[in-house]
Amino acid sequence: MRIWYLPLAQLDRKRILAQHHEVHMLWNLIVRDDRKWGEFTRVDAPYLASVHTRSMAAMKVAGYTGHVTPIKWINDDRGFLPDYATYARLNASRAMTDRIMEDRWHLVLRWGGTYLGARPLTEMAQWEQNQWEELVARYVRQKGCLHDGAREDLGKGWELCLLCKQYKRTKHPSAIWIPKDVPVA
């Protein structure tokens, strides 16, 4: 599960749906069941509700209609933080602009060096278009993913780069990274 910080309509259609699904799961985990998850606790309910609202707006941009799963708001007086207070806390622990740039970079890696978001680049502010274009240029400059983040051991001698979701045979001198759509033998 993940909460994205960039404007959610800049995710691809699949991830827009996934974000909506995940924010419901996180709501149940954090707010209903009162458990900590990452940087969030129950007091952050209004922020999670705002992520839900933004994910519904992104679904609309992506052409999805017929949302049928509203957040089950829980009224209690144990004290929720207003959403901007959660935002300020997140921003203080790591600048929101950095989080957004990391989101964009992860997406460029997953999209194989291009932009596949639901909202067309031409409908964004110029500075936002420029940020995407700079990341695509960086991808080209460094010749794709450097596979320098977390990796998952898939067993049977295969590993997965969690940044680009390409596979490789471990400990094989000439192994190449294989795109995720090609099934592992």
**For residues 120 and 138, which CB has a smaller minimum distance to Zn ion in the complex?**
138
Q: Is 8 in the site for Zn ion (CB under 5 A)?
A: no
> Is residue 161 helix, strand or coil?
strand
Q: Is 69 in the site for Zn ion (CB under 5 A)?
A: yes
DSSP 103-128: HHHHHHHHTTSS---SS-GGGS-HHH
Q: Other CB atoms closer than 10 Å to residue 19's CB: what's the count?
A: 22
Stretch that binds Zn ion, among 30-38, 76-84, 96-104, 154-162 (CB under 5 A): 154-162
Q: Other CB atoms closer than 10 Å to residue 30's CB: what's the count?
A: 20
Q: Is 107 in the site for Zn ion (CB under 5 A)?
A: no
Stretch that binds Zn ion, among 32-40, 81-89, 115-123, 143-151 (CB under 5 A): 143-151
Q: Is 161 in the site for Zn ion (CB under 5 A)?
A: yes
Cα 167 to Cα 26: distance, rounded to the nearest angstrom = 29
Q: Contact with Zn ion (CB under 5 A): which of 9, 58, 145, 160?
A: 145
Stretch that binds Zn ion, among 35-43, 87-95, 121-129, 160-168 (CB under 5 A): 160-168
Applying CB under 5 A, the site for Zn ion has a residue count of: 6
Q: Contact with Zn ion (CB under 5 A): which of 54, 89, 99, 147?
A: 147
CB 177 within 8 A of CB 164: yes
Q: Is 170 in the site for Zn ion (CB under 5 A)?
A: no
Q: Please, what's the b/e burial string for 44-73 (b: 16 or more CB within 10 A of its CB; e: otherwise)?
A: bbbbbbbbbebbbebbebbeeeeeeeebee
Q: Is 130 in the site for Zn ion (CB under 5 A)?
A: no
Instruction: In angstroms, give the least distance from the CB of 56 to Zn ion.
Output: 6
Q: Is 164 in the site for Zn ion (CB under 5 A)?
A: yes
Contact track, Zn ion, 14-53, x by CB under 5 A: ----------------------------------------
Q: Which amino acid, 107?
A: L
Cα 10 to Cα 151: distance, rounded to the nearest angstrom = 25
